[in-house]
Amino acid sequence: ATASGVAGSECPMGECSQLEYKVAMKVKLPYTASEFDQQKQVQFVKAVAEAAQVPVQLVRITGFSELRRRRNSPARALLAGSIQVDVEIATATKAAAEALAGSEELKAASLNAKLETQLGVRAEVLEAASISEINVDPTPEQEGSAWSRWPRAELPLSALAVLFATGTAVPWRALCE
């Protein structure tokens, strides 16, 4: 088993149905928001999954935004040509989340090795990995969210896109349980 508590590149029967914790982190990528298109998002998710040694189904981008920096005048904000990407990885247990958050896999060196392969870029970790519980009682705004309850049948769209774009084979039963 890996730090995620899930062995191999697929979720074995029963192990992914009870995802209770998530590891969240923020990274800086050298793209503008418009450059970080669906294809780059898919590649980013795959790189994070490879670095963390977890199935892509467990990784999702929760948001991204352009970073701004100030030059010369405090009143004039200019684009730095980079974005902050918020990413989360689901785990079955708190122990697995703690192991993953504290592992070398989510440090800049390991993450950058995978990002260079997938996207040809390097990231800067803006906020180190932190652990929290997955919300099991969603607010009305979260009700339709794939993360409000994380059964395998509600895989994040980014993970599905990775599966289809990369041709990764996942047993149909693993997706439906």
Tens digit of pLDDT for each residue in 25-74?
Answer: 999 999 999 999 999 999 999 999 999 999 999 999 999 999 876 565 45
What is the rounded CA–CA span in Å between residue 59 and residue 4?
11
Whether pLDDT at 12 is above 60 = no
Task: Record the tokens describing residue 49, joined without a space.
Answer: 């999954």
Give burial (CB, 10 Å; 0-12/13-18/19+) of 134: middle
Per-residue pLDDT reduced to its tens digit, 139-163: 555 454 444 444 333 444 544 444 4
User: So what's the pLDDT on residue 46?
Assistant: 95
Per-residue pLDDT reduced to its tens digit, 102-120: 988 888 899 999 999 999 9
Order of strands, sheet of 77-91, starting from the edge strand that comes earlier in the sequence: 59-70, 77-91, 21-29, 124-133
Question: Pick from 34, 29, 63: which is nearest to 147 by CA?
Answer: 63
DSSP H or E segment with residue 34? none
Dihedral sign of CA atoms 90, 96, 98, 100 in order: negative
User: So what's the pLDDT on residue 74?
Assistant: 52
pLDDT, averaged across the chain: 74
Q: Are 85 and 29 in contact (CB under 8 A)?
A: yes
Give burial (CB, 10 Å; 0-12/13-18/19+) of 73: exposed
User: So what's the pLDDT on residue 16?
Assistant: 54
User: So what's the pLDDT on residue 169?
Assistant: 44
Stronger pLDDT, 19 or 45, i.e. the higher one = 45
Q: pTM value?
A: 0.67
Identify the band that residue 135 occupies on the pLDDT scale cut at 50, 70 and 90: confident
What is the rounded CA–CA span in Å between residue 18 and residue 3?
16
74: CB partners within 8 A, 6+ apart: none
Mean pLDDT, range 81-93, rounded to an integer:
93
User: So what's the pLDDT on residue 147?
Assistant: 44
Identify the band that residue 173 occupies on the pLDDT scale cut at 50, 70 and 90: very low
Whether pLDDT at 100 is above 60 = yes
